[in-house]
Amino acid sequence: MKLSKNKKNITKDIDLIKEYDPMEAIKILKTKSFVKFDETIDISINLNIDSNKTDQNIKGVINLPKGTGKKINVAVITNEDKQKEANENGADLVGGNELVDTISKNKINFDILIASPDMMQNLGKIAKILGPKGLMPNPKLGTVTNDIGKAVKDAKSGQVKYKNDKSGIVHAGIGKLSFSEDDILMNLKSFYNTIVKNKPDAVKGSFVKKVTIASTMGVGLKINQVSLR
């Protein structure tokens, strides 16, 4: 297959086999950008797990120290007493049972849904709509809570959900190419170390096999893990 002119420019002088120092890789991605939009920096972490075994799978959330650079629309379903708290902390959509009814009509214009525990029973009828989209509130992800204000702030400030896929790989966006090199590095280290700390007890031996970062339209660069710890 013939490479496009930009693709040739991107891959020129890049060793795709080498494991790069994180800062060196970040600088390469910045230098090799040829598009007019602000690309996302994506990380892929290949894990030494058997995804068919539930006790080896990982999922959770992390608040990136420098945010994601992405505007997150947050919806909150809670009782009237806590709706003011949700609004004051920047929620984009706030309601009670009327919001449940809206979602039941497949009207979804939010990225994260937060709910107070007392409303979870009411969400049962829309679980089949929210579940496949990864939007069902979950206590383990901090999206079922009585501390509505904190949950909204966390979601708005750069909270990233992670979960390994069937191949045992975790993918996530960890910032924008327009971020400073130091900010990208801080987010990268924070995400990597969160994954490492969540190694399941059932996994023996090394946990992380490979770490790769790439910009939206760029190539993937392998990262030296020693530099991330």
Number of domains comprising the chain: 2
The encoded tokens of residue 178 equal: 């327009």
How many CB atoms lie under 10 A from the CB of residue 83? 19
Residue 41 class from Cβ within 10 Å (0-12 exposed, 13-18 middle, 19+ buried)?
A: buried
Q: Of 158, 180, 209, which one is at a domain's C-terminal end?
A: 158
Query: Which of residues 125, 158, 191 is at a domain's end?
Result: 158
How many Å separate Cα 76 from the centre of its chain? 19
Instruction: Specify the pTM.
Output: 0.78
108-120 pLDDT, tens per residue? 989 999 999 999 9
Are 119 and 44 in a shared domain?
no
Reading the chain (229 residues) residue by residue, the pLDDT tens digits are: 444 666 666 666 777 789 999 999 999 999 988 888 999 999 999 999 999 999 999 998 898 999 898 888 999 999 999 999 999 999 999 999 999 999 999 889 899 999 999 999 999 989 999 999 989 999 988 899 999 999 999 888 878 889 999 999 999 999 999 999 999 999 999 999 999 999 999 999 999 999 999 999 888 999 999 988 8
Question: Which of 143, 158, 173 delimits the end of a domain?
Answer: 158
146 and 190 part of one domain: no
The DSSP string of 66-94 is T--SS---EEEE--HHHHHHHHHTT-SEE
**Structural domain contains residue 133:** yes
- Structural domain boundaries enclosing 199: 19-58+164-228
Tell me whether residue 12 is in a domain. no
The verdict on residue 2 lying in a domain is no
The CA-CA-CA angle for residues 163, 95, 110, to 5°, reads 40
Q: Is the dihedral of CA 83, 123, 99, 75 positive or negative?
A: positive
Assess whether 153 and 86 both reside in one domain. yes
Residue 176 β-bridge partners: 40
- pLDDT tens track for 52-83: 999 999 998 898 999 898 888 999 999 999 99
